[in-house]
Structure 1
Amino acid sequence: MAPPDSSPPAPATDADRAALRETRAQRVGQRPGTLTVRPGAPTPRLFLMAYDEDNCDEAEYTGRYDELLETLRTGPGRKYWLDVRGYGDLPLLEQLMENFNLHPLQMEDVLGDYQRAKVEVFDDNRLFLVSRMTEFTTNLEIDDDQLSIFTGPNYVLTFQDDYEDCLEVLRNRLRGPSSQLRRRPIAYLAYALTDVVLDHYYPTMAAIGDYIEELEDSIFVARRERRLLSRILQVKKSVVRFRRLVYPERDKIAEILRLPDEVVPEDIKTYYRDCYDHAIQALDLAESYRDNISSLADLYLSDQSNRMNEVMKVLTIISSIFIPLSFVVGLYGMNFQRDDGHGHALPLNMPELYQPWGYPVLLAILAFIVAGQLYYFWRKGWLSSGD
């Protein structure tokens, strides 16, 4: 069968966020296990990959749920990955919950779509895993989607709210003619899903790291944008949010490693230990980026202060030059009379005002004062830019 096509994801809008907040508010005080679908949730699409060591078949069973169940019943010797994308059909989700023996509280966590990463164990040693898929968007935000994973004796059931995800690389591995993934037990597929989500953290962190370097270069340009500080603070918010997503993922994997061998076999735990190392590395990167962005904000404010000091230094020098000039011209701007009105001269009332060379001499004195001040400032080093 040909692999099904996926529709491109719709960007989150203010209306989507408002609908999500409204749904969360509706859940307040409800009976535990009550299933609520947010308004505007996409219609569920059902994708099934059936595989064994030799073959891998896949098809979309949207609108053909009974046929899907028949396919699962008629091939007990094969392994199955049923991927449910979209929560917009509550009766169908309730039917899935009944047919796959899912607990209402766990299904409520699935539809809540904002659970932290965690692991829970069923009575029959089945697992319920929650992971957060992340992406750094062009809006300088961390876009994260919930991936809910249920394991069974020969199947893995996944739920996600969007049609687009980061799991296509895993599907391609299953499609490969020499896929080692098809030879592994079904528990290995659950590990592989978690591993792909963790591996996808690194492109997210790489995008954040590149953007931090871009911001750092922007601080020292001569004509930088006015919104630079807001961009720095927005990226810092995204890094902090990423840390909040990775910490539970690390704790989830650590809890998996503590589970009994009858729940998670020891050979599968070996791979989860590698996942744990990846989570630690992602946390280290997040911590490093958080420190870098905090230093970047301090550097921006320090550079702003230095620029302001340069401006104040120039203004102070200009003011220092014009203060004595203003004093001299203000002194000679006083309106004292030269005589007493009867023809008798008053020699102490600025006689130089009537000298034929009085104006050129005054200009020369003013120029000498300016030159003397500039020479003094230069000797002190105050005219240098400080770079």
Structure 2
Amino acid sequence: MSKRNRHSRRRNKILERKAGVKPGSLLIPTEAYAPRFFLMSFNEEKLMEEELKTYEELMQQVRATPDMRHWIDIRGYANQTMLEQLITDFGLHPLQMEDVLNDYQRPKVEEFDANRLFIITRMLRWSPEFHTLDDVQLSIFTGPNYVLTLQSDYGDCLDPLRERIRVGKGIIRQRPAMYITYAILDVVLDYYFPVIADIGVYMEELEQEVLRQPSKSTLHQVLDLKSELIKLRRITWPARDLMNELLRMDENTIPAHLRVYFRDAYDHAVQLIDLVDNHRDMASSMVELYMSTVSNRMNEIMKVLTIISSIFIPLSFIVGLYGMNFAHEDPDTGKVLPHNMPELYQPNAYPILLGLMAVLIILQIYFFYRKGWFRSF
């Protein structure tokens, strides 16, 4: 399946849900990947990182080190038994797992079971080939000593965070699991900025194309970009609301010493909204610029046609006048008929008439030049 087809299928997935299905039913998408299990267990002194072959090995490793903090990363959903076991082992609600599988949810946060959180956010990628946004849902469950993340794709944007944990720089391996949750959300938001920057570069290219040589294809590209920006706006606004809800939670859920970090992430979300709104305004302006440019080009074409018509209208009048061929003499009597084009029989009348027509053309061009009609060509 091509990238564009996968992108379109993900966009339309929300339309494929079956009506009347029992709430909490775990309907695995047909294109779901087989799950892969990644585990990072760490504290201030030690780090263990491994990709496990089975879910059972993963949980065995987690239970063997209860004094460490764990980042459990599961990529891929195509295992019904594994999903049901997740619900049992981590005390998840089937409705939450249903939201994980129906992975076109808006960013949100829910608090459940003694200050544990269920968070949904969206990771973005910009396709420079198709000029489209590709977004992947990231589902996060928090616990006292673990963070559980689930996603449908194998690739993500969280490698910089994994590297920070590996090298142990800063305070990341000293903080509780909720700090890892913040760090994940912050990295996801940070990756929105280069996506918006790439969109800005593409918009500049489109703007130059609109000014240089606008076409229907260019207009379609601008309208497609507007659709992508609307989609981006539908993601960034709920992302801001998500961070705002986290800031409003009590200190048992979000400790006071972590609020400054979530507040910083909230500020990033607000900046993203401003950038997206600016880009949307620019895209709307490009549509107006396209219409104005096309109108100006049409005006230039009409000006050229008007000049050509203005030159040939008097010439056509003269030629048509002398094309009537009224007889100079009566063919029966030979009598000269008055006022019947005697010029037809004058010597050198043809070159004289051509010369007069040439002079008329020169006079018209000079008149148009004095009026400034040629200055915009």
Which of the five TM-score ranges fits, normalised by the shorter chain?
Answer: over 0.9
Structure 2 residue aligned with 1:279: 269
Which residue among 301, 314, 318 is the counterpart of 2:308?
A: 318
Structure 2 residue matching 1:121: 3-state secondary structure: strand
TM-score, length basis structure 1: 0.92
| 1:233 matches 2:223 | yes
Structure 1 residue matching 2:31: 3-state secondary structure: coil
| One-letter code aligned to 1:69 | M
Structure 2 residue matching 1:180: 3-state secondary structure: coil
Which residue among 52, 76, 83 is the counterpart of 2:43?
A: 52
| 1:187 matches 2:161 | no
Structure 2 residue aligned with 1:6: none
* Deviation per residue, 1:127-153 (Å, 9 max, x gap): 000101112212111111100000011
Alignment of 1:1-387 (within 5 A): 12-14=3-5, 17-18=8-9, 21=12, 24-62=15-53, 64-138=54-128, 139-221=130-212, 223=213, 227-342=217-332, 343-385=334-376
Deviation at 1:338, TM superposition (A): 2.6
Deviation at 1:335, TM superposition (A): 3.0
Structure 2 residue matching 1:296: 3-state secondary structure: helix
Deviation at 1:348, TM superposition (A): 2.3
| One-letter code aligned to 1:176 | V
| One-letter code aligned to 1:14 | N
* Deviation per residue, 1:135-190 (Å, 9 max, x gap): 22121111111000000111100000000000001100110043521111111001
Q: Is the 1:229–1:297 Cα contact (8 Å) retained in structure 2? A: yes
* Deviation per residue, 1:326-381 (Å, 9 max, x gap): 00001111132232222223232212111121101111111121111112111211
* Deviation per residue, 1:276-310 (Å, 9 max, x gap): 00000001111111111211221221111111111
* Inter-partner Cα distance in structure 2 for 1:246 and 1:233: 20
* Inter-partner Cα distance in structure 2 for 1:230 and 1:24: 24
Structure 2 residue matching 1:353: 3-state secondary structure: helix
* Inter-partner Cα distance in structure 2 for 1:118 and 1:339: 100
* Inter-partner Cα distance in structure 1 for 2:274 and 2:150: 29
| One-letter code aligned to 2:197 | A
Residues 143, 28 of structure 1: alpha-carbon distance in 2 compared, 3 angstrom cutoff: same
* Inter-partner Cα distance in structure 1 for 2:169 and 2:162: 13
Residues 212, 187 of structure 1: alpha-carbon distance in 2 compared, 3 angstrom cutoff: same
* Inter-partner Cα distance in structure 2 for 1:120 and 1:374: 77
Deviating beyond 6 angstroms after TM superposition, the runs of 4 or more aligned structure 1 residues are none
* Inter-partner Cα distance in structure 2 for 1:177 and 1:119: 28
* Inter-partner Cα distance in structure 2 for 1:112 and 1:325: 74
Deviation at 1:17, TM superposition (A): 4.0
* Inter-partner Cα distance in structure 2 for 1:134 and 1:234: 17
* Inter-partner Cα distance in structure 1 for 2:313 and 2:12: 62
Residues 147, 18 of structure 1: alpha-carbon distance in 2 compared, 3 angstrom cutoff: closer
Q: Is the 2:127–2:134 Cα contact (8 Å) retained in structure 1? A: yes
Root mean square deviation, CA, Å: 1.8
Percent of counterpart pairs with the same letter?
A: 49
* Inter-partner Cα distance in structure 2 for 1:16 and 1:236: 17
* Inter-partner Cα distance in structure 2 for 1:143 and 1:16: 6
Gaps of 5+ in 2: none
How many aligned residue pairs are there? 375
Gaps of 5+ in 1: 1-9
Residues 213, 148 of structure 1: alpha-carbon distance in 2 compared, 3 angstrom cutoff: same
* Inter-partner Cα distance in structure 1 for 2:144 and 2:238: 26
Structure 1 residue matching 2:296: 3-state secondary structure: helix
Q: Is the 2:109–2:117 Cα contact (8 Å) retained in structure 1? A: yes
Moved more, 170-179 or 128-137: 170-179
* Inter-partner Cα distance in structure 2 for 1:370 and 1:156: 84
